[in-house]
A and B are shown apart, each in its own frame.
Chain A
């Protein structure tokens, strides 16, 4: 983790209420200059409200937003040095691609020749063909429209560029390609990007740091690596992907007992003062069949089904005790050797599990 730098964008106690409903609750967050920060959360977690307040389309009920020390709260949207790429892109349907890209410069009173030059630079930078300059935006493909929206925002030359899930409507392959492209553009421009998405996968690929939101609060902030390896609670762990989660209580030094199975398991480390909580075991650390035999922690189950995940195979193993599904993932070359319907042992090493208090 890089050391703390001067705060660029700071949020202090930012809260937004709609009547009785609290959409965003007491957010304290500091975003660094030049980083790609992603806010991730399920729908309704308050991330869209956050971004709308930051660009000036909504006002916080309380709290303060500061950009380089300057309070943003009272600054109207059109006077903020921030810009947003909308989920729907919000391109101007009655304007050509060139006019869309030049919009901010036209508003700022830049002369037409200079505008056109800058727009063409941006189109080239975003790998858009120059002949699309005069096209209507609705004649462009989905991927081109994404780039036009980004070019239009970059033409504004904002201090911070916000993204409200602009890739969510695209098909999988195009989305994957544009995620990486966006990260490349971030590298090229060196601007501060704040991205929101409900897809942690997307956040992992792109971000320098991630903030995970739930019910209007920020649950955890960290690098993708930190969040993956040290989730702060069961919500974050489950949000990161499919995990096996057990409710457990402490029964000794690095020993926990399952509330459901009554079995005890060894764990690598436990949070200080841990009494009860969750044991998280990722599918990819669970061994199956012969490979499970030397494992200190084992349970027995029936192999119910298998799913091909590309480079990996996932097995669903149903616990012999109560039928709960466990997920096991193996690389193709270490696939499970038995048959579906067999009763097998699955097991994991103590240091591969994570103990969480909440």
Chain B
């Protein structure tokens, strides 16, 4: 029992206990509930896999697919949008980078739902955008709200900082002199980008992509507020199961499956890219 007297163990203990009670504990409970009979509120029943069977045979694959599709689409849109901004913030803007950072970070202080309702006002029929178009060009652009594109707009808007800031860090890790060396050896801008910049920024790119992908996968507000009844995302299903349907075991099964899916994606991606090698520690 010598290890317990190590200062590191003692020092880590409060944090470890806190993480266990606050983070691992609830996850374990969710895992436990997923094996309980339908509509029970206790963990004392005999375990069963009936919830898994019913979820798999039910039509939940639709909301799973929407979530994965929208997460992938959001990442694909965010990357080209954020990369130039991140590049500017890391390499070009100089003292103005702080201002840009503030402009992007300050909206995060306002609740996501309130910002999304702001978009509702803009996209609404006879709303800000529609009204402006009507008065200026005499064209009506109603029907923007409660569509999948509106959801995508909301997702891109809300999760932009989560792609942007890791990219800034990734890009600022590239030494300028290495890019100069590539140019000196004959590489044009595109070749410098592909051969040097992109691989060296990869840790930041990976973190940005995974972060925004996972966040969209578990997102709820965008599809509800901007999408109305257009589609149902998996987080929406989980919420309904826990609240409206009062079926904790079903909600737990969906949560476990979503966590498993996220975990699978994250670990596969991280394994494909050797971060140490990318950073140059090897």
Contacts and interface: CB of A to CB of B under 8 A. Distances in A.
B58 interface: no
A138 B281 contact: yes
A152 interface: yes
A79 B191 CA distance: 13
- Give the residue among B178, B180, B185, B196 with the most A Cβ atoms within 10 A: B185
A152 to B, nearest CB: 7
B108 interface: no
Contacts of A228: none
B181 interface: yes
A84 B184 contact: yes
Contacts, number: 72
Interface stretch (A15-23, A90-98, A118-126, A202-210): A90-98
A78 B279 CA distance: 25
Given A90-B175, A136-B277, A138-B281, A78 B186 contact: yes
A327 interface: no
A272 interface: no
Contacts of A156: 185-186
B187 to A, nearest CB: 5
A139 B185 contact: no
Nearest to A82: B184
A92 B184 contact: no
Interface stretch (A32-40, A100-108, A231-239, A293-301): A100-108
Interface residues of B, number: 23
B201 to A, nearest CB: 10
B282 interface: yes
Given A94-B277, A103-B195, A78 B200 contact: no
Given A83-B185, A94-B200, A107 B191 contact: yes
Given A93-B200, A94-B278, A136-B277, A78 B184 contact: yes
Interface of B is mostly: helix
B15 interface: no
A304 interface: no
A77 interface: yes
Interface in B167-207: 175, 177-178, 180-188, 191, 195-196, 199-200
Contacts of B199: 94
A55 interface: yes
A52 to B, nearest CB: 9
A107 B282 contact: no
A57 interface: yes
Contacts of A104: 185-186
A157 to B, nearest CB: 10
A88 interface: yes
Residue among B177, B184, B279 with most chain A CB within 10 A: B184
Nearest to A83: B184
Max chain A C-beta neighbours (<10 A), residue from B175, B186, B187: B186
Interface string A2-33: 00000000000000000000000000000000
B280 A78 contact: no
B195 A78 contact: no
B280 A93 contact: yes
Contact of A138 (B183, B195, B282): B282
Interface in A65-89: 76-79, 82-84, 86, 88
Nearest to B198: A94
A78 B181 contact: no
A103 B196 CA distance: 11
25 contacts: A57-B180, A57-B183, A76-B183, A77-B183, A77-B184, A78-B183, A78-B184, A79-B186, A82-B184, A86-B177, A90-B177, A90-B181, A92-B181, A93-B280, A103-B182, A103-B187, A104-B186, A107-B187, A107-B191, A107-B195, A136-B280, A136-B282, A138-B280, A138-B281, A152-B185
Given A78-B187, A90-B178, 7 more contacts: A90-B181, A93-B178, A93-B279, A94-B199, A106-B195, A152-B185, A156-B185
